[in-house]
Amino acid sequence: MANQLMEMMHLKYERANLAYLLSVQNIKDAEAGLYGQSTISKYLRRDSTPAAFGGYEDTDGWCGMSVSSYYLTDCLLQEFQRQEPSITQLLQGTFGQVLRSDHTRKIARKVTLTSGTMSSYAVMNENWMIISWVMVQSESERSLEPMYEGLATRYTAAGIEKANYHWVDRDCCAAFRVQNSHPAEHLLREAWRTTEATVAEVTSGDLTNICASRSKFNEFISVKLDLFHCMRRFCRECVSEHHSLYSSFCQFLSAAFTIVDQQDLKRLKEAYVFCGIVPANPTKQHIREHCRTKIPQPRELVKRVEEVLLHFHLLKDVNDIPLFKPSMLKAWRIQRVHMLRGCLSDPEREDGILYRYGGTLQLNHVQGEGASVPVWIPIRGTSQQEGYHFHQAQWVTGNKVSPELFQAQGMTGVARWNFQRLVDLKQPGVVLPAVFDPLLITDLNMAL
């Protein structure tokens, strides 16, 4: 809307400039006797050069007006009040079969509230569209219960099946405690190994967590831990990101957590050969885009990660500085519980719940069926939320804004985000207007 206002003001400036130039030309024509008239004194002015009209920023030169930030803010709030019912209706009409949620304080720091510091919490579906967005006082599950209760009401009223999978950044299973490590215990190889007694201890009893999505939305929902947050908790226990062994550790850890689909990898290598790329060693970016990956089942996953930790737990750089902090052992014990409880492992389903087919792509723009490779868009995890958080922080201008302006910019940004995701999907039969206007979209849907 700010761009539209600027266009209107520049249009007014250009029209005023045109009117001024026409008036000057009219006076010159009259003095030249074009209209059969002449001045009474018969004298002509010494300087016939007209005064400069002035630039757009010169309010006195062209008798325009100065557009202040307060005026633009008032216009934005007024426009939001006009479109708020339509924006709310668009958001309430967004559903999904997979939920991904995450907390952030990046945008919450910008709003001034009497209740103190708050946190932003957004729920995203499998198409990266925002289903619900709220500001919560605390990051506890109790503060999320009203939102999930309203979400359940929306699904029930629309007659849509509720989502069965939910990826979160924490609180994925029942609470537990792990043993604190003793001094120098992290130097012992046996301290890193997983015994059958440990497996039996962490997998016995009720493992489900009474989270808000399970208690208020769907009692049968499967709550999973995001892989990105799990790996980041391991990386934080390294001495430094600049350690010479840090990058190698991250590569081995990433390979331990995921298994590349061999059929997709074989097809990608064949496309490399077809394009004349020899040897056929696909890049990480191509593997990430054109090959599906799978997180192994609990026992296999623990074994793979344990081997990586056992390999690096005593390694040092040339300056005799170890890679791991002593607290890495406790971090391993905590994350091992989530692995053994199946919080990270992919569900055993064949209906494509982990990836969304994004069409095909001609590798290196080479024509032919052999160079055609599929594009797989991941649904698992909350990694896409991080990109959404970045854009969300750009929507709210300034460092401190009022709650009214925060709501207007935030809600409009969410609606535009969902609109762009619909455009990216390119679904057949879905016709979207070229201009984003929630009220216009609502009127068109009602007319159809």
For residue 109, the model assigns a pLDDT of 79
Give the pLDDT confidence score for residue 386 in this predicted structure: 82
Residue 28: its pLDDT value, please? Answer: 79
For the record, the structure tokens of 407 come out as 């709501």
Rounded CA-CA distance 282/270 in Å is 10
CB 204 within 8 A of CB 340: no
**Confidence check: pLDDT of 354 > 60:** yes
Q: Is the pLDDT of residue 48 over 90?
A: no
Question: Is the pLDDT assigned to residue 45 strictly greater than 70?
Answer: no
Domain ranges of the chain: 2-67, 76-169+382-447, 228-375
d(CA 164, CA 173): 16
Q: Which range among 5-14, 124-133, 149-158 shows the weakest confidence by mean pLDDT?
A: 5-14
pLDDT of residue 192 exceeding 90, the answer is yes
Residues 54, 58: Cα–Cα separation, whole Å: 6
Question: With bands split at pLDDT 50, 70 and 90, how would you rate the model's confidence at 130?
Answer: very high
pLDDT averaged over the chain?
A: 85
Q: What is the predicted pLDDT for the residue at 41?
A: 58
The residues that bridge with 374 in the sheet, in sequence order, are 360
Least confident of 45-54, 204-213, 317-326, 381-390: 45-54
Average pLDDT over residues 242-260: 94
Longest dimension (CA), the chain: 114
Which residue's entry shows tokens 């209906």? 351
38 pLDDT more than 70 = no
pLDDT at 260: 92
Share of the chain above pLDDT 90, in %: 36
Average pLDDT over residues 29-49: 68
* Element housing 411 (H / E): helix 403-425
Whether residue 414 has pLDDT greater than 80: yes
Mean pLDDT of 252-278: 92
Compute the distance between CA of residue 167 and CA of residue 124 in angstroms, rounded to an integer. Answer: 10
Exposure class string for 184-197: b at 16+ Cβ within 10 A, else e: eebeeeeebebeee
User: Residue 322: is its pLDDT beyond 90?
Assistant: yes
Most confident of 241-245, 274-278, 433-437: 241-245
What digits encode the pLDDT tens for the residues 71-80?
Answer: 778 888 888 8
Compare 432 and 362 and report the one with higher pLDDT.
Answer: 362
* pLDDT for residue 313: 92
Question: Given a cut of 80, is residue 441 above it in pLDDT?
Answer: no
d(CA 36, CA 217): 85
Residue 398: pLDDT over 80: no
Average of per-residue pLDDT across 230-236 = 93
pLDDT of 60? 61
Chain segment 1-35, per-residue pLDDT in tens: 556 667 777 777 787 778 878 888 887 787 777 76
CA nearest 198: which of 338, 327, 306, 337?
337
Q: Are strands 119-124 and 98-104 parallel, antiparallel or unpaired?
A: antiparallel
The larger pLDDT score, comparing residue 421 to residue 444, is at 421
Residue 213 reports pLDDT greater than 60? yes
> Which residues are paired to 135 by β-bridges?
120
Q: Using CA atoms, how far apart are residues 322 and 253, in angstroms rounded to an integer? A: 17
Sort strands 130-136 and 165-168 into parallel, antiparallel or unpaired: unpaired
From CA 163, how far away is CA 221, in angstroms rounded?
7
At residue 115, the pLDDT reads 60
pLDDT value of position 19: 81
Give CA–CA dist 395/122, Å, rounded.
15
171 touches 343 (CB < 8 A)? no
- Closest by CA position to 134, among listed 417, 421, 414: 414
How does DSSP assign 133-177, residue by residue? EEEESSSSSGGGHHHHHHHHHHHHHHT-PPP-EEEESS--S----
Q: What is the pLDDT of residue 113?
A: 65
pLDDT at 117 over 70: no
Gap between the Cα atoms of 284 and 289, Å rounded: 9
Identify which has the larger pLDDT, 207 or 352: 207
pTM of the full predicted structure? 0.78
Say which residue, 43 or 15, is predicted with more confidence: 15
